[in-house]
Structure 1
Amino acid sequence: MTTLEFSYSLNKLSSSLKPFALKLTRDRDDANDLLQDTMVKAFTNRDKFTDGTNLKAWLYTIMKNTFITNYQRMVRRATFVDTTDNLHFINSTDSKIENGAYGSFAMDDITAAIDGLEEVYKVPFMMHFRGFKYHEIAEDLQIPIGTVKNRIHIARKLLKENLLVYRNLN
């Protein structure tokens, strides 16, 4: 295939490659860049193309590999590797030490608020908190799933009211 024939074939197939580029990049400008890079690579490597093989498949492969290479390059650029020693933290006076008393008080209040709930609300709420799905709770308690959802909602609402003092504290 002559250079002119190869160039004509590339030009003819470029329109069919554009949707694939859009699918890969999900951005019109990036897709145009990828298409252009693919065409440049295909033209500069035309001597590697074997006559009689599928030119379209060859172009799709070049585009996919170009996209993967560009993506890997972008990920490497975005990765920050700190190679410095962390010796500057040894004598730092900016560190804070908390004794956890506030967390202990808050946990005591949360536990008391949960214990203060009526059993019909507390049991489904605690089961959901422990990771049970709504349908598992409904099956275990032998009540409709809508009732389970309602009771958990009411329990959350009551707990918000009882723990209102913690709302704006950080």
Structure 2
Amino acid sequence: MTALEFTYQIGTFSKFLRPFALRLTKDGDDANDLVQDTLVKAFTNRDKYQDGTNLKAWLFTIMKNTFITQYQRMVRRNTFIDTTDNLHYINSMESLQENKAVNFFISEDIQSALSKIDSMYRVPFMLYFEGFKYHEIAEELQLPIGTVKNRIFMARRDLKNHLHMYA
């Protein structure tokens, strides 16, 4: 097959490559890049193509192997391995240290929201939050158990409204 015939054949099959590339990459720009890489590899390796074999299958194989190679390269680039005795993954979530400032601000927001709730609702809620059962709270505050449940529900609803930014 001459270079001109080879180029013509690849041109006719190139329209089938993009849908396959989209299925692999799930992104339009990445799919276009993958098709381009595949065609460049096909042209540069034209001498490795054997006449009489399925050119379309050859192109799909090049594309699949190119995608796998690029994916493996991306994974290797994003994973660093510590070569000390422990062999930890440096970018793993287990080694992540959190700043306690975020928890401090959240705690301040919760305390502020609790202070805005009427004490009629806040007291039963705090007792429940501390681990008391409904019937224990009802005895302590000398209220019917249904009233205790209702006040805890109302306190939760008010807290949810005050803390809507954390939803």
TM norm structure 2: 0.53
Instruction: Give the Cα separation in 1 of the matches to 2:134 and 2:42.
Output: 68
Contact 1:13 1:56 in 2 (8 A): yes
1 CA distance for matches of 2:134 and 2:8? 75
CA RMSD of aligned residues (A): 3.8
The unaligned stretches of length 5 or more in structure 2 are: 87-125, 139-144
Separation (CA, whole Å) in 2 of partners of 1:114 and 1:159: 14
Aligned mates of 1:158, 1:111 — CA distance in 2: 18
Give 1:47 deviation, angstroms: 1.8
Residues 110 and 5 of structure 1: is their aligned pair in 2 closer, same or farther, counting only changes over 3 Å?
A: farther
Report the AA paired with residue 60 of structure 1: F
DSSP-derived class of the 2:132 partner:
helix
Q: Residue in 2 aligned with 1:112? A: 132
CA separation of 1:47 and 1:3: change in aligned 2, threshold 3 A: same
User: Structure 1 residues 44-53 or 77-86, which shifts more?
Assistant: 77-86
Cα distance in 1 for residues equivalent to 2:19 and 2:134: 56
Q: What is the correspondence of 1:87-166 to structure 2 with a 5 Å cutoff?
A: 109=129, 111-113=131-133, 157=153, 160=156
Distance in 2 between residues matched to 1:46 and 1:114, nearest whole Å: 79
SS across alignment from 1:34:
helix
Q: Distance in 1 between matches of 2:134 and 2:58?
A: 65
Corresponding residue for residue 6 of structure 2: 6
Using the size of structure 1 for normalisation, the TM-score is 0.52
Structure 1 residue 111: Cα displacement: 4.0
Alpha-carbon distance in structure 1 between the residues aligned to 2:61 and 2:43:
14
Question: Once the 2 structures are TM-superposed, how far is the Cα of residue 36 of structure 1 from its aligned partner?
Answer: 0.8
Deviation at 1:158, TM superposition (A): 8.0
Instruction: Provide the identity percentage.
Output: 61
Moved over 6 A (4+): 114-118
Supply the distance in 2 between the matched residues of 1:17 and 1:85 (Cα, whole angstroms).
46
Distance 1:83 1:114, change over 3 A: farther
Q: After TM superposition, give the deviation of residue 6 of structure 1 in Å.
A: 0.6
Contact 1:113 1:159 in 2 (8 A): no
Cα distance in 2 for residues equivalent to 1:56 and 1:157: 66
CA contact (8 A) 1:17 1:35 kept: yes
Equivalent residues of 1:21, 1:63 under 8 A apart = yes
**Residue in 2 aligned with 1:149?**
none
SS at match of 2:61: helix
Aligned residues between the structures: 114
